[in-house]
């Protein structure tokens, strides 16, 4: 059965899309730790990030860098934190999270709520900053 992320790539489930190319897709996490919390995924469905073939994994890092630099530009943050968990969705993904301190990237924290309009505006802002 297709993962929820494959359904997002296929447009069967809506998402706040930020960027994509032929191999990767970036969109806002629906339960974010921070405004601009983004997920980067390969379009090929593989559960575990480190099961990805070398070239696909290396390319995903370069794609994530592009998105992270855009987040850096438009979000108020010291850094873009990077995390890989994969405990909830069995489709490899990298979390990109704008952070100002250690606390900002604690996954046990309550997640933030944003309106549809706010999510849309954040995605558009990051997307427009992609070089």
Which residues are known to be catalytic? Answer: 93
Residues in 82-101 at the binding interface with ligand 5GP, rule: CB under 6 A: 85-89, 93
Residues in 30-69 at the binding interface with ligand 5GP, rule: CB under 6 A: 30-31, 39
Is the CB of residue 99 less than 8 Å from the CB of residue 105? yes
3 φ/ψ angles, rounded to the nearest 5 degrees: -75, 165
Residues in 8-27 at the binding interface with ligand 5GP, rule: CB under 6 A: 13, 15, 27
Distance in Å, CB of 90 to ligand 5GP, minimum: 8
Is the CB of residue 62 less than 8 Å from the CB of residue 23? no
Hey, is 3 helix, strand or coil? coil
Q: Which is nearer to ligand 5GP, 4 or 57 (CB)?
A: 4
State the burial class of residue 116 (Cβ atoms within 10 Å of its Cβ: 0-12, 13-18, 19+).
exposed
Distance in Å, CB of 26 to ligand 5GP, minimum: 11
Binding residues for ligand 5GP (CB under 6 A): 4, 13, 15, 27-31, 39, 85-89, 93
């Amino acid at each position: 059965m297709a993962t929820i992320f494959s359904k997002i790539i296929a447009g069967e489930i809506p998402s706040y899309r930020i960027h994509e190319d032929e191999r990767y897709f970036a969109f806002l996490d629906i339960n974010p730790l921070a405004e601009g919390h983004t997920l980067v995924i390969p379009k090929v469905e593989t559960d575990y990030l480190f099961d990805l073939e070398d070239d696909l994994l290396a390319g995903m890092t370069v794609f994530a860098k592009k998105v992270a630099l855009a987040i850096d530009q438009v979000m108020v943050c010291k850094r873009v934190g990077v995390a890989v968990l994969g405990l909830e969705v069995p489709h490899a993904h990298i979390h990109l999270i704008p952070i100002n301190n250690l606390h900002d990237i604690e996954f046990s924290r309550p997640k933030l709520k944003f309106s549809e309009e706010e999510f849309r505006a954040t995605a558009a802002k990051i997307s427009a900053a992609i070089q």
